Amino acid sequence: MYRRITAVLAGAAAAAATFGFAGSAQAAGAPCGAQAKACVQLSTDTAWLMDGGKVVRGGVPVTVGKPAYPTPRGTFHVQYKDIDHYSKEFNGPMPYSVFFTNTGVAFHQGSLKAQSHGCVHLSHADAVAFYDGLHPGDVVQVVK
């Protein structure tokens, strides 16, 4: 019995060392800090919704800005939300918009095949989840 318990504990310790603490952002692959409520990794076209460093949704696929209109990197705060936003500048709908820069960059429902003018495109289901899960003042981190 002692050998079996020791083997189980050794296996658990090895798994913890390999993967980190279960439920942590790093263990789940989100590269952002515990203060982030949303995390975007540009190099993998992936986003996560977070709560206290734990992933609550994701990673989900996204598309980001074209080279001429890159999605900015850094730490931002949700400015405002608009469920039926329409971009006059780019002449197109931006459903479920969550704006997180003062230059008009937002999470919103959009094509997962075409790059944006800086925004983070999400599928319909993910756009709804980000819209419902994020609120003004929440931290958004965008990393390489």
Q: How far apart are CA 109 and CA 98, in angstroms?
A: 10
Name the active-site residue from 32, 39, 85, 119. Answer: 119
Can 119 be counted among the known catalytic residues?
yes
Select from 37, 31, 2, 25 the least CA-distant residue to 134.
37
Q: How far apart are CA 17 and CA 128, in angstroms?
A: 35
Name the active-site residue from 39, 85, 108, 121. Answer: 108
Q: How far apart are CA 78 and CA 70, in angstroms?
A: 18
Can 117 be counted among the known catalytic residues?
no
Contact 66, 32 (CB under 8 A): no
Which residues participate in catalysis according to the annotation?
108, 119
